[in-house]
Structure 1
Amino acid sequence: MSFADGLNALAAKIRDKKGGIETEEATKNAFIMPFISSVLGYDVFDPSEVVPELVADVGVKKGEKIDYAIMQNGAVQILIECKKIGEPLNLAHAAQLFRYFAVTSARIAILTNGQVYQVYTDGDAPNRMDEKPFLVFDLLDLDRTVVPEIQKLSKESFDLDSVVSAAEELKYIGLIKRILANEIKEPSDDWIRYFVARAYDGKATQKVVDQFRGLVDKATAQYIADQVNDRLKSALGDEAGHVESAVRATPAEPVDVEVQRKPVATPDPDIVTTEEELDGFNIVRAIAVSEVAAERIVYRDAKSYFAVLLDDNNRKPVIRLHLNGKSVRFVTTFEDANKTGVRHDIETVVDIYKVADQIRATIRSYNIDSAAPIAVS
């Protein structure tokens, strides 16, 4: 099993089993030990590689235990402190890690609840664990760019110098990305004032800031959509014919078993695929590529809606776009096991980004058994 396969398999297990896990001990057995063994490749039953319940007396603190210590050549390399699945992770939970970090040879510490992992080192002061992690990842929402960094912690690839040297850059990149994500999702007044100062000649009163909030939100969404579309055009070919050949435009049919038995009808000349619908499709595809390969996302246009499907399968609807109404536009997502449609009113195709989480969740529900590989660069 490859490193990416191990991550995918564990993520599928977490999605399937997390609802039934109620204790820290169960979390360790179900999710954290498999991460150490199946993903990182350490033998959890070999005390020369993994020591559970490591005891290292610290000052007046006697008999405290750290959940796991990963060893190499008889020395502690990685400390792991575990919490129950779903429990939030914060510095209060890392108190034991701080203490143990100072009295062992470890330079890597991990705080985890089995789904989210926070990885620390001592970049700010030698032998003192940093207060902020240099790497944070969620196995159910994994940023593919961090996969090589996780792999550096594995038995096969472990390289302490490489991990530590990359830690500072990773820490600040991660922090900046989280700041940007928060500002895009819920813009602060300071963020809005930054744009007001550069785009508005008058005084930046609170009223002006409030007026600009919606403008900044729309401009940001449109800019992201433009960048995504440019990248898709570059990847798929600038000519419309290239894009058309990459997706299939055939009449959509209701999600119905009986319909599946009917032959595919001849394309209806009354069905016209608009530029706006193609823009919407490109946005959906851009959202979907975090879960599956782009070529697996296709569309079928119909008179009443524009359907986006996984694997060109009517039983796997991703979203339906209703963009031809004169005054009302909306999209339909499919968020439960019965694939019941949920309506979301929108103003422009850019608003499709507002249902990105639902799109990804729907694709994961179809793709969970196939465990599509994570691209490791």
Structure 2
Amino acid sequence: MNTIVIPKQAVNQLKKTLDNFKLNEAIELCTNEAQTRKFLIEPFFLMLNYESTNLIPEYNADFGDRISQKIDYAILLNKKETILVEAKKYNSKLTDKEAGQLNGYFGNTKNSKIAILTNGIEYRFYSDIVEPNIIDSKPFFIFNLTSFCESELEALIKFDKRYINVQSIVKSAQEVVFNESFENAFFKEIVAPSKELLKILHKNMTFSTKFNEDTQGKMINLINSSFLKCIYDKKVLLESTSNSQGVITTEHEIQAYHTIRTLLIQNKKIPKERIGFKDFKGFFSITVDESSKKVICKLMFNSTPLKLAIDTNEYVLEHIDDLLKYKNELTNRTILLLE
């Protein structure tokens, strides 16, 4: 699979184009679905460098005798690949249930691996990761014209006509679905440990006891937030002393995280339980709800000087205490992501 390198200037240009789009004026013109298509949806795809010849309205999916059923739009990428688009009137509430309407088209248009549900403001991107030819119950990516961050722009630019690689996008979507599925499964086991998990843990204990209801009850009571915090601290220490780990969470990153978290929760609008982080090879990301789509800031502490990135702005830090200077920027960014 060929990897297309997307220049940073392309992301910056897309942001500039979106910022210059007269969104409020377009919204005022939208009182029905047809106007939503004309003034919001079609301009959106034009901003991604699709031409009118690529964006086919009222596209016939292959329904045989039911040829009268049409999808609102099909984006023709080439002879083999098509993206389906279901349009709703501006201000319509989008739900994953509505995405089910795309299933008929999706299953009958074999060259489609991506489908989009939109009301002109919010764009929900779906695929068939879980089961072939059936739309997944949740989108793998959501973009909102009224509120977006740098990471979402970087995801959106991958759908630009000049750079789009459906195979690569679907593979990335598979990673998103896999990660979320793993997190959900792991969380369920932590909240209500299964007998199978307890058996595995009991088998690996050096203190020998019978695996009965009393033992299971003790083990379940031990799996609480304090216990998990203790295990987490041990994991961080192990990673920081092991060169074999791909991602190393350092003490400085943890210190910076706690500093930023403390700054944020001083604002009553920011619930402390919604602030989390994810560590990557090149940066340490502080997020809302531990979501890669809701990045408050990024810490680049792997080299000198230390750097802090908030949305598209980057700041050089002489010391971790310099984070205090950016309390307002961090707080405003977090409140925006919480809304």
Where structure 1 has 5 or more consecutive residues not aligned to the other structure, the ranges are 180-189, 201-216, 244-277, 291-352, 362-377
Q: Does the CA-based 8 Å contact 2:11-2:154 persist in structure 1? A: no
SS at match of 1:80: strand
Pick one of 23, 38, 44 that aligns with 1:29.
Answer: 38
* Structure 1 residues 65 and 222, CA gap change in structure 2 (3 angstroms): closer
Query: Which one-letter code corresponds to 1:112 in the other structure?
Result: T
Give the drift of 1:4.
3.9
- The superposition leaves residues 17-39 of structure 1 with CA deviations (integer Å, 9 ceiling, x where unpaired) of 32442211111111111111222
Give the drift of 1:140.
1.7
The residue number in structure 2 matching 1:162 is: 168
* Structure 1 residues 59 and 287, CA gap change in structure 2 (3 angstroms): farther
The residue number in structure 2 matching 1:98 is: 103
Kindly name which structure, 1 or 2, has the bigger radius of gyration based on alpha carbons.
1
SS at match of 2:18: helix
Query: Aligned equivalents of 1:132 and 1:357: distance in 2?
Result: 23
Query: Aligned equivalents of 2:86 and 2:275: distance in 1?
Result: 42
Give the drift of 1:16.
4.4
1:43 aligns with 2:51: yes
Where structure 2 has 5 or more consecutive residues not aligned to the other structure, the ranges are 1-8, 185-190, 192-220, 228-269, 278-285, 287-295, 308-315
The residue number in structure 2 matching 1:135 is: 141
Give the drift of 1:161.
1.3
1:63 aligns with 2:72: no
Query: Aligned equivalents of 1:223 and 1:127: distance in 2?
Result: 35
Query: Which one-letter code corresponds to 1:71 in the other structure?
Result: L
The residue number in structure 2 matching 1:114 is: 120
Pick one of 306, 330, 334 that aligns with 1:286.
Answer: 330
Query: Aligned equivalents of 1:107 and 1:223: distance in 2?
Result: 32
Give the drift of 1:8.
4.1
- The superposition leaves residues 110-164 of structure 1 with CA deviations (integer Å, 9 ceiling, x where unpaired) of 1111111111112122222222211112122113223333222221112121011
The residue number in structure 2 matching 1:88 is: 93
SS at match of 2:103: helix
Query: Which one-letter code corresponds to 2:47 in the other structure?
Result: S
SS at match of 1:107: strand
Query: Aligned equivalents of 1:141 and 1:111: distance in 2?
Result: 17
Q: Does the CA-based 8 Å contact 1:15-1:140 persist in structure 2? A: no
The residue number in structure 1 matching 2:14 is: 6
* Structure 1 residues 127 and 222, CA gap change in structure 2 (3 angstroms): closer
Q: Does the CA-based 8 Å contact 2:75-2:82 persist in structure 1? A: yes
Pick one of 147, 151, 167 that aligns with 1:145.
Answer: 151
Give the drift of 1:76.
4.4
1:18 aligns with 2:27: yes
How is 1:189-208 mapped onto 2 (pairs within 5 angstroms)?
A: 197-199=224-226
Structure 1 vs Structure 2: percent identity of aligned residues? 26
The aligned length equals 226
* Structure 1 residues 232 and 7, CA gap change in structure 2 (3 angstroms): closer
Q: Does the CA-based 8 Å contact 1:122-1:128 persist in structure 2? A: yes
Query: Aligned equivalents of 1:70 and 1:199: distance in 2?
Result: 51
* Structure 1 residues 77 and 86, CA gap change in structure 2 (3 angstroms): same
Q: Normalising to structure 1: TM-score of the pair?
A: 0.49
Query: Aligned equivalents of 2:276 and 2:135: distance in 1?
Result: 39
- The superposition leaves residues 183-223 of structure 1 with CA deviations (integer Å, 9 ceiling, x where unpaired) of xxxxxxx7xxx9994359xxxxxxxxxxxxxxxx8654898
Give the drift of 1:108.
0.8
Query: Aligned equivalents of 1:115 and 1:26: distance in 2?
Result: 13
Query: Which one-letter code corresponds to 1:102 in the other structure?
Result: G
* Structure 1 residues 86 and 65, CA gap change in structure 2 (3 angstroms): same
1:73 aligns with 2:78: yes
Query: Aligned equivalents of 2:167 and 2:275: distance in 1?
Result: 42
Q: Normalising to structure 2: TM-score of the pair?
A: 0.54
The residue number in structure 1 matching 2:254 is: none
Query: Which one-letter code corresponds to 1:198 in the other structure?
Result: S
Note the aligned Cα RMSD (angstroms): 4.1
